[in-house]
Amino acid sequence: MHLLATALLTEVKAPLFLPEIAFPIIAACIFLVLALITWSYRDVANRHANKAANQYHDDHVHGQAGHGGQQ
């Protein structure tokens, strides 16, 4: 029992290479960068919705795929 108490009292923790507060700050910055990247891709599918709607109209209403409805 005496050996265990001595081992617990003499335990030396390894020093951190950064202050403790730096680790959550780094994690928050990483999540912020990832959030900005995700936010930058908003509405990408709808950027060319006008062209996609015209293509759908040409292909399905006139029956001539890829010819713009002209015969």
Whether this prediction's pTM lies above 0.75 is answered by no
Measured CA to CA, the distance from residue 49 to residue 45 in angstroms comes to 7
More confident call, 45 vs 59: 45
Quickly state the pLDDT bin for 67 (edges 50, 70, 90): low
Residue 61 has a pLDDT of: 56
- Whether the predicted pLDDT of 59 surpasses 80: no
Tens digits of residue pLDDT in 13-57: 888 899 999 999 999 999 999 999 999 988 787 777 676 666 666
Q: Which helix (H) or strand (E) holds 51?
A: helix 49-61
Q: Is the pLDDT of residue 65 over 60?
A: no
